[in-house]
């Protein structure tokens, strides 16, 4: 999660907020009559003004930029909905995650590899002009660059302090922390009365349009975020003996503009010894999915304590969500799991 730049925000204005918790539909007459509006243009790259500027402001989306993820040496291009969402994030006030004032604890910039013409995109933003709403650093935020973004020589520009997250950076998926912050900042989270609203588990929060159900972090589902999401996947019970699961998600060979998911939930019995932890070993994933940001597909293991953040494999989290996601071809993976004392 990048956080919100406060210097250019007007907190009490009505906004079009694009996420699962908020919805605003305007007629064409309302759009043309609006004093403040965002005009989408096509220039030679993607960019957007940061926050509400007043009057007309611009957001640029262009084919070469929105599809420009360098997946291999042949510069293969794919359509990236995430690029468009990233720019909308800027309009809503989000700055880049790697510009957080506390970023040095989580990443290291390789400045000699960064194109000097865009070095400003990596500059820290003072806490006097930003708010991260108490959330930890989310490598999987839609506002985080991938590890080779704006490289002048193909070398890495960002190194994750926790190497488990090196390929998490640059995700095309809007993260739960992104959704939480946008709802917190624009007052949506205050709509639901805490005493009468749903009691959400696993860091979820009441849905502003229906306070009796919850918006859940990835890997969790059900009205209260205490179950595995419906659909592909299964509940797994860990023992002290190694078990294996062969997962598969996706279909065909063409790129899809949406991700398909397969959710597993690994638990251990209450009869197991105290102080136990789940050990997960990712043994292999289909060839071709080792890309920055896992933009074709990947595996998320939510082993961290703060379940609001994107996960990277020893964990005391019980149950432990294991998430497969894919939008091209059929991705297969093999994972083993067990608990240890």
Residues catalogued as catalytic = 87
Please check if 96 is assigned to a binding site: yes
Residue with tokens 């899809």: 256
- DSSP line for 299-320: EEE--SS-TTSPP--EE--SSE
Q: How many CB atoms lie within 10 A of CB 34?
A: 11
Phi, psi of 320 (to 5 degrees): -110, 115
Whole-angstrom distance, CA of residue 268 vs CA of residue 84: 41
Of 130, 150, 119, the C-alpha closest to 9 is 130
Is 7 annotated as ligand-binding?
A: no
E runs forming strands in the chain: 4-5, 37-41, 47-48, 56-60, 107-109, 130-131, 158-160, 205-207, 210-215, 235-238, 243-268, 277-285, 297-301, 314-315, 320-340
Residue 319: asked if its preceding bond is cis (omega within 30°), the reply is yes
User: Following DSSP, what letter does each residue of 213-280 receive, concatenated?
Assistant: EEE--TT-BSTTS-BPPSSS--EEEE-SS-EEEEEEEEEEEEEEEEEEEEEEEEEE-TTSPTT-EEEE
Do 176 and 225 touch, CB atoms closer than 8 A?
A: no
Query: Is residue 221 a contact partner of residue 228, using CB atoms and an 8 Å limit?
Result: yes
CB neighbour list of residue 203: distance below 8 Å, 6 or more residues apart: 176, 217, 225, 306, 307, 308
β-bridge mates for residue 113, sequence order? none
Reference 38, options 18, 23, 59; nearest CA is: 59
- Residues placed in the known binding site for Zn(2+): 86, 90, 96
Annotated binding site: 86, 90, 96
């Amino acid at each position: 999660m990048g956080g919100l730049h406060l210097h250019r925000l007007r907190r009490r204005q009505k906004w079009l907020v694009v996420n699962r918790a908020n919805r605003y539909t305007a007629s064409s007459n309302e759009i043309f009559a609006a004093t403040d509006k965002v005009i989408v243009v096509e220039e030679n790259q993607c960019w957007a003004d940061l926050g509400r500027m007043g009057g007309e402001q611009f957001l640029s989306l262009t084919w070469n930029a929105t599809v420009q993820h360098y997946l291999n040496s042949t510069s293969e291009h794919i359509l990236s909905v995430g690029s468009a969402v990233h720019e909308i994030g800027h309009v809503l006030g989000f700055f880049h995650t790697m510009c957080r004032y506390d970023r040095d604890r989580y990443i290291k910039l390789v400045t000699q590899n960064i194109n000097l013409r865009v070095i400003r995109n990596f500059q820290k933003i003072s806490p006097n002009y930003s708010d991260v709403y108490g959330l930890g650093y989310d490598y999987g935020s839609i506002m985080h660059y991938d590890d080779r973004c704006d490289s002048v020589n193909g070398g890495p520009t960002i190194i994750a302090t926790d190497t488990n997250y090196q390929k998490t950076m640059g995700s095309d998926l809007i993260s739960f922390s992104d959704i939480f912050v946008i709802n917190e900042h624009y007052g949506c989270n205050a709509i639901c009365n805490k005493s009468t609203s749903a009691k959400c588990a696993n860091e979820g929060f009441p849905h502003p349009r229906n306070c009796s159900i919850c918006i859940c972090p990835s890997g969790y589902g059900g009205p209260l975020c205490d179950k595995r999401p419906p659909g592909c996947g299964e509940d797994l019970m860990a023992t002290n003996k190694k078990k294996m699961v062969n997962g598969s998600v996706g279909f065909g060979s063409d790129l899809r503009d949406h991700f398909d998911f397969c959710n597993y939930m690994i638990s251990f019995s209450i009869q197991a010894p105290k102080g136990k932890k789940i050990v997960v070993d990712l043994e292999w994933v289909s060839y071709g999915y080792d890309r920055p940001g896992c933009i074709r597909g990947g595996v998320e293991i939510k082993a961290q304590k703060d379940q609001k953040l994107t996960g990277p494999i020893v964990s005391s989290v019980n149950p432990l969500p294991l998430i497969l996601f894919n939008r091209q071809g059929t991705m297969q993976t093999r994972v083993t799991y067990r608990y240890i004392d």
